[in-house]
Amino acid sequence: MYLGRSFEEDCIMDSITHIVLGAVIGEVIAGRRLGKKALLLGAFAQSLPDIDFVASFWLDTSRDVLAHRGFTHSFLFVLLAAFLLALLVRRWSWGRLLSLRSWLFFFGLELFVHVFIDAFNAYGTGWFEPFSHYRVSFGSLFVADPFFSMWPALSLLVLLMLKRGRRSRKYWAGGGILLSCIYLLYAILNKQRIDTRVERQFRQDQLSYTRYFTTPTPLNSFLWFVVAEVPGGFQTGYASVFDRDDAIPFHFFPKGDSLLVPFRDRQDVRNLVRFAKGYYTVEHWHDTLVLNDLYFGQIRGWEMPDARFVFHYYLQDPGNNKVIVQRGRFEGWDRRAVMAFIRRIEGHTGVSGE
């Protein structure tokens, strides 16, 4: 289902994570004083930075991708929003159950956790807006990773059933947060392992590269997408933490920069090139010219090395680019494709998934 703008699929995919994580953090901070209101307020506060979706109703697609996770995901927004929310809730009688300082901590932590977690996936987060447009991206978590989200989700289900005042409530909430933190650390360590392996192969193959990045494939931190910038284009490949063989098969994509020359004066193209931070290719799909952002991976590239990229923009038909960030992400994911994906995670290469 297309929702009309470039990043709304992305918001839907990760909104549940922020809701459940915000709720359990709210329980830990203020559950004893506020009861189940702490769950609701925590879920609301941690979802607030994604209010930038409103801008999508007025912005074209290229400006939309730049606006998303921009100012509302900055440290300045965290400070301003926490202060305003703290003043607002103090106007209600139940809001006086906590001091102004406690409310500032409550909302500040919730908002900070949102912008902090978002920086761990490939999209990039504008921590320093409006003073700097630099996007922070650690590339350690997929935008929706059930292994990260399931623990606070389970905790929230239990908290909704437990009565107020039960000592076990804080243990359930704290346990969900702790397990998510452990998984995040595990994902970071996996990335370091993959990066070490990639750099070792580059040295062994004497590959002349300018830079590279690694990012998780959908819904896990076990199988990683690797992109290295080389003369004339990019080498792409996949590496699993369970691979039997350290060698990573690479596939070359030409950058095709010359194809972009007639479009370079267009504002939408300049916006997308800036957003891609140079990791883009331009190619012909029959009679259609397409700009790809490599950060978001391929559509089942672990099966088909020359597969199309998820983030693709039709240069000759800008109006046909309503959803581009996750366009076709799960295209063709039938039972056979899912089994092939699982087998590739397990370290098997060149399998059909049967």
In this structure, the answer to whether residues 33 and 60 fall within a common structural domain is: yes
pLDDT over 90, % of the chain: 81
For 10-60, write each residue's pLDDT tens digit.
Answer: 455 578 999 999 999 999 999 999 999 999 999 999 999 999 888 777 888
Using DSSP's 3-state secondary structure scheme, residue 102 falls into helix
Residue 318: pLDDT band by 50, 70, 90 thresholds?
confident
20 vs 39, 53, 65, 122, 173, CA distance in Å? Answer: 9, 20, 25, 21, 10
Cα separation values, 8 from 11, 184, 221, Å: 5, 24, 23
Q: If 0-12 CB within 10 Å is exposed, 13-18 middle and 19+ buried, where does residue 296 land?
A: buried
Range of the domain at 239: 194-345
The confidence band for 5, taking pLDDT boundaries of 50, 70 and 90, is very low
Scan for tokens 């996007």, then name that residue.
135
Looking at the 3D structure of the chain, how many domains does it have?
2
Residue 350 included in any domain: no
The last residue of one of the domains, among 151, 169, 188, is 188
Of 116-120, 205-209, 324-328, least confident by mean pLDDT is 324-328
pLDDT at residue 137 greater than cutoff 50: yes
Is 345 a residue whose pLDDT tops 90?
yes
What per-residue confidence (pLDDT) applies to 61? Answer: 86
Note whether 181 and 32 are same-domain residues: yes
Specify the residue for token string 């949102």.
114
Same domain, 184 and 36: yes
